[in-house]
Amino acid sequence: MPSRAALFLVLTVRAGGEPVVRELLGDLAGLVRSVGFRRPEDRLTCVAGVGAQVWGRLYEGPRPAGLHPFRELRGARHTAPSTPGDLVFHIRAQQADLCFELGSLVTRRLAGAAAVVDECQGFTYFDQRDLLGFVDGTENPEGNPALDAVHIGEEDPEFAGGSYLIVQKYLHDLDSWDRIGSDEQERVIGRTKLSDLELPDGVQAPDSHVAVNQVVDEDGEEQQIYRANMPFGSLGRGEYGTYFAGYCRTPDVTEQMLRNMFLGTGEATHDRILDFSTAVTGSLFHIPTADFLEDGPGPAAVDASLRLPGRDGSLGIGSLRTAPVEPE
């Protein structure tokens, strides 16, 4: 059963806050157990990720091979911005109260050491649909293919078992979207709206979301990521959107998808969904294994003057070790 609620927290770490952050990351699995035991059937999980600019401040030794700041993509019509982010916490459960409780414990522990720069509470919308009305995550891999797509392997042995996560917040222009009607919406997405079937060759537009997001390697094999997207919204602010969360064993695959979307392909100038959905954030993180978070190398050397005063099918990354692999 997919998680029905999610909380995404992106934070920046202040100078001197590194010891507090390391301690929190080491304790995270215990915090998840402490909150989750109250209702184990709601399957509370949390993934923690570390950004490129703070990695060397937290850990000594080599860094993950694919870790770098999110690269802004500026196309002819649309831009994928790069926004600040040193830490990410992706919290999931069947009920929002568990997500909120764990998020509250995390942010209180990090008070004064790190600041929240983006917070997004996601929810399940009907039968796994986004607010545009289409099923999201249809092509997510399952089982062993999902593990292969997500886990770093022997290509970076010191960080094997970890992953990479790119997050972006997209805001939808629902008024413009509704005006084009269902038939045209299906051509934009590349799938039928009601039955969630991919449009056949000859009907599929080259600038559809489905077509643009297909990435193949030099052998013609399609490359996959695991999408954990969630809808979010605020009626008072008139905000309706999708929080994109793409896990992959290398950021190269997700970055190629984004380049196709924003910079275009040989057949399309851009992903047409961007005419109705605007990216407002973008960050890239390495997701260490739970063992690494609990006992990572270090601590990295920090100037003492900057120290704060007083202070069964799982993805198997971070503290998501016990969480089922399932489409979001």
Would you name the residues annotated as active-site residues?
136
Give the CA-trace dihedral at 2, 198, 74, 77, to 10 degrees: -130
> CA separation (Å) from 316 to 31, 41, 119, 271?
17, 19, 24, 32
In the structure, how many helices (H) and strands (E) does the chain have? 9, 12
Q: How many CA atoms lie within 13 A of 302 on its CB side?
A: 23
251 contacts 159 by C-beta, under 8 angstroms: no
Distance of CA 324 to the CA centre of its chain: 16
The token duo for 288 is: 């260490």
Q: In 3-state terms, what secondary structure has residue 234?
A: strand
Q: In 3-state terms, what secondary structure has residue 32?
A: helix
Cα 151 to Cα 163: distance, rounded to the nearest angstrom: 5
Cα 285 to Cα 53: distance, rounded to the nearest angstrom: 10
Q: Are strands 114-123 and 277-279 parallel, antiparallel or unpaired?
A: unpaired
